Amino acid sequence: MKVCKVEEMRDLDRRATIDYGISQEILMENAGIASYDVIQKELGVKNKKFLVFCGGGNNGGDGFVVARKIRSSGGEIKVYLLTDREKYRDPAKKNLEIISKFSIEIDKAKINSIKDDISNTDAIIDAIFGIGLDRDVEGIYREVIQLINESKKPVFCIDIPSGINGNTGQEMGISVQANYTITFGMPKIGNLLYPGYGKGGKLYLTHISYPYQLQNSGEIKVELPELIPLPKREANTTKFSYGPVLTIAGAKNYYWAPYASAYSVLKAGGGYSFLACPKSLTPYIAVGGREIVFLPQEKETSRKSLSLEAKDNLLDEVEGRVPKMVIIGPGLSIDEETQNLIRELAKEIGKPLLIDGDGITAIAKDPEIVKERKAPTILTPHTGEMARIIKGLRKTEIKSVDIERDRVGFLQQACQELKAIIVLKGSHTLIGYPDQRVLINMSGDTDGQAGMATAGSGDVLNGTIAAMFCQGLDIEEAVQTGVFIHGLSGDLAAKEIGSRGVTASDILNFLPKAVKYYERNFDQISEDYYGKCYLI
């Protein structure tokens, strides 16, 4: 399912009208009818009282259609205008004129009267801004949104909760907290990324007559991906059929990262996992990871991280063990000598390479290394690490908060420039490809409770991706499926033990259940992509 930016939605509107003769009046009518249908389904209409708040654009016009449908079906409706009547244009103006002839009370928004009406209504319909908001909410709009949120009444939002940026999901000062959102044509990025996703409640989608070929244009690069079935495992196979993976990781005080990255390969279905780490760490890690094959490295720095002198031996291990994929960086430390080692290895390892953690810090200082690699490269940054990558590319200071304001845009830039696959971790992790495609992963938010926001969960992701690759998926499919199953494991863990108490160990240990659930329920979770967007 494609996911669009605001400007892409506007182009879809324009092309539907110019190329296909679908008037704006028809699109507005269909949007209003679909919104009404959701209200009827979720709450009912007859003999119930509703307030609809209408802004000055087409979102307000959609609200007028909903008001007419509610009144026609026996509901009571009052319309509050947040702009002057004479400012409405085209189909919004026409629909305002129509409802003016119905027995519908229409009033200019005044805070005192709104307070009285909200206390006596059954539900509220938000038709204030729509997807085009690009500045902070102020004045009467801010006051109205505050009253809506304080009312604790059921709220239906048209297209997107007012106050949410349609391109980024960011809150523009304040936003409506909805119970239900009905969006049109395609989901907007702001519908699916936090905090916008958390503000929208249950998300419904209706295509409102947009031609199928416009909705599925290759020019639209962001999407909810179709899930990929896992390859069948034949009986006459061995551990070498599903591996090996070589993980280069670990330093003093970093025991979990190397263990989790290497062991998750096995827990997610990989057959053989090597771990090259400083020799001094091996006895401690081996206590929990006995099935890992350890390659202790003698050459350590004085701070117990891998020395640059370990380079030749590590390259020999890559050559001799013939791994299908190499993971480098988890818990390797930011010791300068070790950082130099990472950069040198990234240049010379000719295998698919997944770079995480301290490996990203090293590469961010010389992004050309990734650009020049011939074999596929996967980077798995959180927003802070992504800021370092962008800083390395732009040679200007970038902060995590800047990345959060435009996760998709920064991701597309970095993937294209680095010619790499990048997994930008977070609530609804993004997967970016060099051709600027971006997939939005919807697993792993543990019902909005951030259960996976726990130290070490990203290390489990590394091995999960590698395991998918070793089981026969191609590199792009392996990243997509690994990210989904990793999130699914967190969801299953949270369901059983509670979101607040989930640890990275739980996510690791639930991986076999996640893989089993994925295979057994593949058709069900594929049908509605994890129950996150309902088609009407």
Strands 438-440 and 222-223, how do they pair? Answer: parallel
Does residue 356 have a known ligand-binding role? no
Q: Tell me: is residue 463 an annotated ligand-binding position.
A: no
Counts of helices then strands in the chain (DSSP H, E): 23, 19
Cis-peptide, bond into residue 195, ω within 30° of zero:
yes
Query: What token pair was written down for 351?
Result: 């295998």
- The pLDDT value recorded for residue 381 is 98
Q: Could you tell me the CA-to-CA distances from 81 to 292, 363, 469 in Å, in that order?
A: 66, 54, 55
Is 126 a known ligand-binding residue? yes
Domain segments of the chain as ranges = 2-223, 244-529
Instruction: Report helix, strand or coil for 158.
Output: strand
**Hey, what are 188's tokens?**
């907007």
Q: What is the pLDDT of residue 385?
A: 97
Residue 61 assigned to a binding site:
yes
- Annotated binding residue at 288? no
Q: Calculate the dihedral angle through the C-alpha atoms of 8, 14, 16, 17, rounding to the nearest 10 degrees.
A: 170
Q: Is 110 assigned a ligand-binding role in the annotation?
A: no
Residue 286: CA count within 13 A, CB half-sphere: 13
β partners of residue 326: 246, 353
Contact 352, 324 (CB under 8 A): yes
Q: Determine whether the annotation assigns residue 425 to a binding site.
A: yes
Could you tell me the sign of the dihedral formed by the alpha carbons of 55, 58, 59, 60, in that order? positive
Length of the chain: 536
Strands 293-297, 325-328: pairing is unpaired
One-letter identity of residue 303? R
Through-space distance between the first and last CA atoms of the chain, rounded to whole angstroms: 14
Distances (CA, A) of 144 to 63, 126, 149: 16, 10, 9
Low-confidence ranges of the chain (pLDDT < 70): 530-531
CATH pick for 2-223 out of 1.20.58.760, 3.40.50.10260, 3.40.50.11060, 3.40.50.1000: 3.40.50.10260
Q: What's residue 495's pLDDT?
A: 93
Query: Is 135 a known ligand-binding residue?
Result: yes
Q: Contact 279/296 with Cβ under 8 angstroms? A: yes
Torsion angles phi and psi, residue 231, rounded to 5 = -60, 150
Model pLDDT, residue 450: 75
Residue 331 counted as an annotated binding residue: yes
d(CA 125, CA 34): 13
The answer to whether 459 is annotated as binding is yes
> Position of tokens 């380079």?
311
What is the C-alpha to C-alpha distance for residues 281 and 110, in angstroms, rounded to an integer? 68
- pTM of the predicted structure, to 2 decimals: 0.95
d(CA 30, CA 15): 17
The amino acid at 61: G
The closest alpha carbon to 16, from 186, 157, 183, belongs to 186
Is 450 assigned a ligand-binding role in the annotation?
no
Which amino acid belongs to residue 502?
A: V
- Please report which helix (H) or strand (E) contains residue 124, including its range: strand 123-127
- Tell me if 210 sits within 8 A of 16, measured CB to CB: yes
Q: Check whether 257 is labelled as a binding-site residue.
A: yes
Q: Is there a binding annotation on residue 60?
A: yes
pLDDT digits (tens, 9 = 90+) for 10-54: 999 999 999 999 999 999 999 999 999 999 999 999 999 999 999
Angle between helices 475-497 and 511-520 (to 10 degrees): 110
In the prediction, which pLDDT does 117 show?
96
Binding residue per annotation — 490?
no
Q: 29: part of which helix (H) or strand (E)?
A: helix 24-42
What does the pLDDT read at residue 530? Answer: 66
What phi and psi, each to the nearest 5 degrees, are found at residue 120?
A: -110, 5
To the question of whether residue 131 is assigned a binding role by annotation, the answer is yes
Q: Taking a C-beta distance cutoff of 8 angstroms, is the pair 294, 277 a contact?
A: yes
CB 264 within 8 A of CB 460: yes
Biggest CA-to-CA distance, the chain: 86
Alpha helices of 100-206 — where are they, by DSSP H? Answer: 111-120, 139-151, 189-192, 196-200
**One-letter amino acid identity for 136?**
D
Extract the runs of DSSP E, i.e. beta strands, from 369-414: 377-379
Instruction: Find out whether 429 is annotated in a ligand binding site.
Output: yes
Identical fold for domains 2-223 and 244-529, yes or no, is no
Q: Which amino acid is at 496?
A: E
The confidence score (pLDDT) of residue 527 equals 83
Bridge partners of 202, per DSSP, are 180
As to burial, measured by CB atoms within 10 angstroms (0-12 exposed, 13-18 middle, 19+ buried), residue 508 is: buried
Q: What is the CA radius of gyration of the chain?
A: 26
CATH 3.40.1190.20 fits 244-529, yes or no: yes
- 427 marked among binding-site residues: yes
Binding residue per annotation — 458? yes
